[in-house]
Amino acid sequence: MRLFGAQYAEVLRRHPDIPERVRIHEIVRRMINYLVVDLVENSRRLLADAGAGSVEDVRHAGRALIGFSDPVRAESLELKRFLREQLYNHYRVRRMTRKAELVVSDLFGVLLDDPRMLPPQYLDKLRTAPDDKSSCARVVADYIAGMTDRYAIREHKRLHDPSELT
């Protein structure tokens, strides 16, 4: 992976003794910066080459005027393939994803079945919403969408574990 390898080598060269966690953060930061800078510079070039001076010019250009340069597009695709194969489809990540789906799905079902278990501010939203199943589903979904992963897991446990009294 050229994109990762180049940034990794540069971080090691500049900061050979930094802790691994800081090194990873710096590599990711540099990769993002590299991609953003290329996207902006190449897009400026594409817009200028097309003579685009307005939104209408962009709409009628007949081709994309925002995008990576060819070499960086290739590096980006290589990184995406690697991440899909080695990270997103890793068995541990898939297990965690499945558990998260089960928690969210169960929370949604339980709270939709008995919305009186929602916190007061969401019950207030429910009282002012139309009295139908889709409005209730929207309020429950909004509540769950605002949860962090840890909070969702704790809330799921509170709803199902008899030793959790609140």
How many CA atoms are closer than 13 Å to the CA of 96, on its beta-carbon side? 9
Indicate whether 9 and 67 sit together in one domain: yes
Report d(CA 117, CA 138) in Å as an integer.
Answer: 15
Structure confidence at residue 91 (pLDDT): 93
Q: What tokens appear for 90 in the block?
A: 């890793």
Query: Is the same domain home to 147 and 105?
Result: yes
Query: Domain residues for 105?
Result: 93-160
DSSP label at residue 62: S
Task: Classify residue 166: in a domain, yes or no.
Answer: no
DSSP-derived 3-state class of residue 26: helix
User: According to the model, what pLDDT value does residue 13 have?
Assistant: 95
In a domain, 37, yes or no: yes
The pLDDT score that the predictor gives to residue 163 is 87
Residue 111: Cβ within 10 Å count: 22
Task: Examine the domain organization and report whether 75 and 38 are in the same domain.
Answer: yes
Across 118-134, average pLDDT? 90
Mean per-residue pLDDT over the chain, rounded: 94
Residue 125 resides in a domain: yes
39 and 73 both lie in a single domain: yes
| 7 domain-assigned | yes
Please state the pTM of the whole predicted model: 0.66
Same domain (yes/no): 153, 104: yes
pLDDT at 166: 66
The number of distinct structural domains making up the chain is 2
Q: Are 42 and 69 in contact (CB under 8 A)?
A: yes
Q: Are 31 and 37 within 8 A, CB to CB?
A: no
Residue 102 inside a domain? The answer is: yes
- Report pLDDT digits (tens) over 6-65: 999 999 999 999 999 999 999 999 999 999 999 999 999 999 999 999 999 999 999 999
Q: Choose the final residue of a domain: 43, 70, 89.
A: 89
Share of residues in the chain with pLDDT > 70 (%): 99
The answer as to whether 62 is a domain residue is yes
pLDDT band at 130 (very low <50, low <70, confident <90, very high): confident
Q: Give the residue from 27, 58, 89 where a domain finishes.
A: 89
Report the distance separating Cα 165 and Cα 134, nearest Å: 30
CA distance 100 to 61: 43
Determine the pLDDT at residue 116.
93
Residues 15 and 74 in one domain: yes
**pLDDT at residue number 131:** 81
Q: Is the residue at 165 inside a domain?
A: no
